[in-house]
Amino acid sequence: MNKAVAILLGIFFLLLSEINSQSPPITLIFGGDCTFSDHYAVNTKPNEIHKTFENIPWMKDADVTMMNLESCISTRGTKLEKEFNFRMHPKYLPVLKYGGIDIVSIANNHIVDYGLQGMKDTFYYLDSTGVKYVGAGLDLDEARKPVIFNIRGVKIGFLAYSFAFAASANSWGTVPIDTNIIKKDLRNLKEVEKVDFVAINFHWGKERSNYANQDQQRVARFAIDNGANVVIGHHPHVLQGIEQYKNGFIAYSLGNFIFGGNSRKHHYTALAKITFQNKRMKSEIIPIEVRNFCAYDIPQTKKDSILNLIQIFSKNEKE
């Protein structure tokens, strides 16, 4: 990797003064859009789902691994009238545990694809397998509830927001991307829950665009200004740039990860890895390859080419 890319991507060391300097290292891994349905199900037999992540075992080694689950989990519900509808069969649930996925964002435009029944079933199946979820609920108060992990005495809070199907005081859905709500949620985590570290997922941006727009940048920086440490984006289905803003790290879009929503069997994408220890946070982008809906590590030369692309996308973030 050349020096410029190393400075941009390899990455940021940021001061986290509130975390105990004697704590052992804590590692978080974030991925983009995952849909274990449709083309994934066509190409993956239930007795082969362990292969999906077996070539990147470091996901299981992380203290917390988080993805965006771009579907409901159900065999029931009324199909919503929209262009794309994704519904994961419960028999594919073990893929989450095989991959070491501890928490998913469900603040997206597909958690609602099979109505309220589909969303309720999603809650049931995730609860049954021990995978946490954040970003949607039966009303806005429920949807806004954070997930908090206590890792070796360090409290890590997770929040998630979406541009689509907003919940209200009396209706089910996702948490809207509203700066007033974001500010209140961050204040609750910091002042009431007393968390040490906050990661926010946003479902936002323009599909198929490699460049974040001004609204993404405004909201991401607002989140950092109000106490978030890491901002992770998804929905564009392609990689976008990254940014160090003050003492925070922003990945505007991590693109598709294992995405059965289309028939594309080969693509390159990336994960974000966050490690903190001794009052410092290290953030890395890890390029990976997906072939036939299975993830693989790749040679460093190929990683460098993807990192260079992300560098280009990062330079063109709109001010």
Cβ contact 243:220 at 8 Å: yes
Whether 111 shows a pLDDT value over 80: the answer reads yes
Confidence class of residue 279 from pLDDT cuts 50, 70 and 90?
A: confident
Confidence class of residue 315 from pLDDT cuts 50, 70 and 90?
A: confident
For 61, phi then psi, to 5°, come to -80, -20
Question: Which domain CATH number covers 164?
Answer: 3.60.21.10
Q: Which residues, 6+ apart, have CB-to-CB distance to 160 below 8 Å?
A: 105, 106, 107, 134, 135, 174, 175, 200, 201, 202, 203
Average per-residue pLDDT in the chain? 93
Q: Which residues, 6+ apart, have CB-to-CB distance to 313 below 8 Å?
A: 210, 211, 239, 240, 241
For 60, phi then psi, to 5°, come to -75, -25
Q: How many angstroms separate the CA atoms of 198 and 212, rounded?
A: 22
Q: What is the pLDDT of residue 278?
A: 77
* pLDDT tens digits, one per residue of 195-248: 999 999 999 999 999 999 999 999 999 999 999 999 999 999 999 999 999 999
Higher pLDDT, 59 or 279: 59
Counted domains in the chain:
1
Higher pLDDT, 296 or 319: 296
Q: What is the pLDDT of residue 19?
A: 55
Residue among 219, 254, 260, 227 nearest 239 (CA): 254
Q: What is the pLDDT of residue 14?
A: 60
Name residue, tokens 């794309």: 84
Q: DSSP per residue over 62-115, as a string?
A: SSEEEEEE-SEE-S-SPPPSSS---EE-GGGTHHHHHTT--EEE--SSSTTTTH
Q: What range defines the domain where residue 62 resides?
A: 3-315
Retrieve residue 139's tokens: 């009303």
Whether 109 shows a pLDDT value over 50: the answer reads yes
Q: What is the pLDDT of residue 316?
A: 62
For 21, phi then psi, to 5°, come to -70, -15
Whether 297 shows a pLDDT value over 90: the answer reads yes
